[in-house]
Amino acid sequence: MNPVRWGVLGAAKFAREHMAPAIHAAEGAELAALATSDPSKAAGFVAFCPGLKVHASYEALLQDPGIDAVYIPLPNHMHVEWTLKALAAGKHVLTEKPIAMRAREIDQIIAARDRTGLLAAEAYMIVHHPQWQRAKAWLEAGEIGTLMHVDAAFSFNLTEGGNIRNRPETGGGSLRDIGVYTFGSARFVTSAEPVDLSARIHREGGVDVFAQVAGIMEGPGGRFTYGSMTSMRMYNRQVVTFQGTNGMIRLEGGPFNANVNDLAEVELHQNGNRVTVERFATANHYKLQVETFGRTVREGTAYPCPLEFVRGTQVMMDRVYEVAVEI
């Protein structure tokens, strides 16, 4: 079966360091083209993919008949526009998170996906990682009893003023950048949705650099309490805990940046001081994401993170902004 031929829309640093190499390495995928108006920015991509075709504009790449799918790592505020343009051009599309700034914007992407019959997805890579799949399987198997509480934290210290995460006009802020992880991971593992939320936010330069969220979520196993913290002004920290009546599942060290900040592993703590630890030293969730995307495109298999799931996380995000108290 022919590989999915990918084009990358924009020479973003993240694309150069993570996603483009993942596409290049993935089975059933071929990194075929890049769109950038700055030839010097293409050099880092061509270094590991010498046969890469470089287009001088985004439009030219979308018009390339040799491209099947497009990866979009553009600034947040440009995601909806170029996702819709890619679908209109007949390309499958994988767009960086958040795919939209508001939940209602995702509706038009869903409509375009359904109208064209193409695959459109947000690059929510963690659901493709075996550590998160294991956490979900343990919870659903009742390994920790009745779920009572979930808490999540994700922080890093970003002081670079010109970075798009620090700019309100490009959709910056800790919630849009990393809140999708603390919110989405809880929703993925528990299949639950929030029924009550409160939040406290601190802003600098027009973007939230700290957010603390608390609430109640409800899923197949009943109701449980939820808490999360995100910050772009704190030392690196990533941890998610699912606490039940008879045990606890914990992902710590690098659950969102697996094998970057620390070794990817998930722990199961149970009564009698029993601890089970599973480590995933070689799993690359970016590569796994590309391969899963490709199977859906080529074989029609169900995609594990459809836009409907993505919309649910954005609904939660929208609600947090609505109820947040400034501190």
pLDDT given for residue 135 in this prediction = 98
Q: Are 284 and 22 in contact (CB under 8 A)?
A: yes
Q: Which two tokens stand for residue 248?
A: 């606890």
pLDDT given for residue 263 in this prediction = 83
- Looking up residue 269, the CATH number of its domain turns out to be 3.30.360.10
On whether both 149 and 269 belong to a single domain, the answer is yes
Using CB atoms within 10 Å of the CB of residue 273, give its burial: 0 to 12 exposed, 13 to 18 middle, 19+ buried. Answer: exposed
On whether both 31 and 106 belong to a single domain, the answer is yes
Backbone angles phi, psi at 122, to 5 degrees: -90, 145
Known catalytic residue: 136? no
pLDDT given for residue 20 in this prediction = 98
C-alpha distance across the termini of the chain, in Å: 55
On whether both 105 and 203 belong to a single domain, the answer is no
Which domain range does residue 90 map to?
Answer: 4-123+287-303
Listed in sequence order, the residues at least 6 apart from 163 whose beta carbon sits closer than 8 Å to its beta carbon are 172
Amino acid code (one letter) for 215:
G
Backbone angles phi, psi at 78, to 5 degrees: -100, 0
On whether both 270 and 158 belong to a single domain, the answer is yes
On whether both 165 and 229 belong to a single domain, the answer is yes
Q: Which two tokens stand for residue 124?
A: 């929510």
Using CB atoms within 10 Å of the CB of residue 193, give its burial: 0 to 12 exposed, 13 to 18 middle, 19+ buried. Answer: middle
Q: In angstroms, what CA-CA distances link 189 with 14, 33, 50, 249, 283?
A: 26, 35, 40, 11, 19
On whether both 139 and 237 belong to a single domain, the answer is yes
CA quadruple 110, 63, 296, 315: dihedral sign: negative
CA 191 to CA 244: how far, in whole Å?
Answer: 15
pLDDT given for residue 158 in this prediction = 93
The answer to whether residue 111 is domain-embedded is yes
Q: What is the pLDDT along the chain (327 residues), one digit of tens a residue?
A: 799 999 999 999 999 999 999 999 999 999 999 999 998 999 999 999 999 999 999 999 999 999 999 999 999 999 999 999 999 999 999 999 999 999 999 999 999 999 999 999 999 999 999 999 999 999 999 999 999 999 999 999 998 878 999 999 989 999 999 999 999 999 999 999 999 999 999 999 999 999 999 999 999 999 999 999 999 999 999 999 999 999 999 999 789 998 777 789 999 999 999 999 999 999 999 999 999 999 999 999 999 999 999 999 999 999 999 999 999
pTM higher than 0.85: yes
Using CB atoms within 10 Å of the CB of residue 219, give its burial: 0 to 12 exposed, 13 to 18 middle, 19+ buried. Answer: middle
Domain count of the fold of the chain? 2
On whether both 150 and 20 belong to a single domain, the answer is no
Q: Which of 53, 85, 97, 287 is catalytic?
A: 97
Q: Are 71 and 92 in contact (CB under 8 A)?
A: no
